[in-house]
Amino acid sequence: MTMVRSIGLITLATILMAGFPSTVLAERQSSQNVLEVVTVPPLPSAKFTVDGKPIATDHKGVARATVRRSRDKHQLRLLTPHLDMPDGTADFVRWAGRGDANQVFTPSLDAIVIGRRTRIQATFQTTRTVRYGFVDQARQPVAPDRITSLTIRGDSGQQLTLDGVRPVRLTAVRPVLQAGSAIAKEVTYYLQSVVIDGTNVVNAGEQRLVPNQTADTRFVVLLRSVRFQIRDWLFGHRLPNGIELTYPDGRAERFSAGLDGDVPLADLARGTYRVKASGPGYAQPQEITLSRSQYVEIPVVTYVDIATLAVTASITLTVLVVVGRRRLRKRSRTAA
């Protein structure tokens, strides 16, 4: 009996001794308030101080600090309002959650009250370097030196016109407040125009770019092919003449015809052109709109055509004169 009682006392003492540290720890924790600082969007290694004591965000963009429970006011300060990232930057915009309304756009909150569990958001706007190129509808690369300019419009209203083809830094994520809390909103850009040879070769708004999702993209431009067929106006046979083509930007260029009398051209920007046959003979300049690949016939009045027409006209005139005289004589005889 005595032995059983001793064992019970020892067991009770062990339980009490084991529970004592937990009780002390629980009491100590209950006397602490927790401040949780969350970066929007999540940014690792953002640095802050709480009453001068440093804290940093983890891989989820969260930093925590504990302070003694009281109604005292504390200072929260952001030490890294600008962060360099491997492919862009992040810049502080504002605080969300709590804090003096006069300080929400400053890196420091000087008089915040930390409750049992206080959550404050530090919002950032991020940028990302984007590279882009161009392909035709067959997915074949288009030479960068052909691109005069490119215009994109962001869903936040920002519009940018870029010269040529070069890497550009675009806003990737911007913070947006909803019901007092901040969320990270990806910025989407829509392609408005791509200028080649003085004309737009895309349909506005059909192609888009999301910098937060991709750092390298390809835009499809609308290029057309055309075969100019140079034909004799009167007889319809092929002529070895060339053509003079005026592009939408006013630049003119000459092209020679092949043995078949045709001038095939590919990768022309869709748009309005002027074309005229060069070489012997006369051809009226034509204005054509390349909205699709097509054949264009260019009639040329040659010297043979002119001579043929002159002879035909002379013969016709002679026949008319002879017929007219015969009719006149016949009328005279009838009258007599």
Residue 313 falls within a domain, yes or no? no
Residues facing residue 120 across a β-bridge: 37
| pLDDT at residue 1 in the model | 44
Half-sphere exposure at residue 113, Cβ-oriented, CA atoms within 13 angstroms: 4
| pLDDT at residue 142 in the model | 95
Cα radius of gyration rounded to whole Å, the chain = 42
**Nearest CA to 95 among 138, 59, 53, 48?**
48
CATH of the domain at 83: 2.60.40
Residue 333 falls within a domain, yes or no? no
For residues 205 and 229, state if they share a domain.
no
For residues 236 and 258, state if they share a domain.
yes
| pLDDT at residue 201 in the model | 96
Residue 212 is which amino acid? N
For residues 149 and 103, state if they share a domain.
no
For residues 73 and 140, state if they share a domain.
no
For residues 277 and 212, state if they share a domain.
no
| pLDDT at residue 46 in the model | 96
**What total number of domains does the chain contain?**
4
For residues 120 and 54, state if they share a domain.
yes
For residues 71 and 43, state if they share a domain.
yes
**Nearest CA to 211 among 88, 115, 36, 65?**
88
Q: Which stretches in the chain have pLDDT values below 50?
A: 1-2, 4, 7, 9-10, 12-17, 19-28
For residues 235 and 186, state if they share a domain.
no
| pLDDT at residue 79 in the model | 97
Distance CA 296, CA 275 (A): 10
Residue 75 falls within a domain, yes or no? yes
Structural domain of 232: 223-301
Residue 316 falls within a domain, yes or no? no
Residue 1 falls within a domain, yes or no? yes
Residue 3 falls within a domain, yes or no? yes
Of 164, 193, 220, the residue that ends a domain is 220
| pLDDT at residue 17 in the model | 47
User: Which residues are CB-neighbours of 288 under 8 A, at least 6 positions away?
Assistant: 226, 272, 273, 274, 275, 296
Of 100, 124, 148, the residue that ends a domain is 124
For residues 233 and 293, state if they share a domain.
yes
CATH of the domain at 280: 2.60.40.10
Residue 184 falls within a domain, yes or no? yes
| pLDDT at residue 305 in the model | 55
| pLDDT at residue 99 in the model | 60
Looking only at the bridges linking them, the beta strands covering 223-232 and 262-269 are antiparallel
Distance CA 284, CA 301 (A): 9
**Beta-carbon count within 10 A of 284 CB:** 11
For residues 52 and 83, state if they share a domain.
yes
Q: Give kind and range of the element (H or E) at residue 27.
A: helix 2-30
Distance CA 184, CA 240 (A): 64
For residues 32 and 117, state if they share a domain.
yes
Residue 319 falls within a domain, yes or no? no
For residues 132 and 116, state if they share a domain.
no
